[in-house]
Structure 1
């Protein structure tokens, strides 16, 4: 009878102690992961802000590339002929 009682108490201890321990471990792990991701995002944003590149020629190529190559248009029309009254 003692063997069954000892096994029963171990089972009860496992049911009472392990779930809160696992829950605390999981919540701590998730908190650490989310904190590290937040820190990583802050560092990346700061680095991008401080180490940007300025390439005006690339911007100009993007703008003209979207419009297509420039073709010479028709010459301007001549003004109306002036007449004497």
Structure 2
């Protein structure tokens, strides 16, 4: 296949670079440093294990779940991708 000046793997390299940059931008937006000891919304104590697992945590599990639900965040792929239909 004629690709002109681009190398054989140019498209894949561009996609990988774009994904890498997006991941870096997302990581920069994550909270950093020690987490709060008490939830900033309901003042419930945040367990030390959660503070260690999630750097910069500001919400307890219940408030975080409510926040994610309001934002429409879901950890599940509900689009029914072709790959998930093959399993």
Q: Is the structural similarity TM-score above 0.5? A: no
The normalised TM-score by structure 1 is: 0.34
More helix by share: 1
Higher relative contact order (CA 8 A, sep 6+): 2
The normalised TM-score by structure 2 is: 0.33
Name which one, 1 or 2, has greater alpha-carbon Rg. Answer: 1
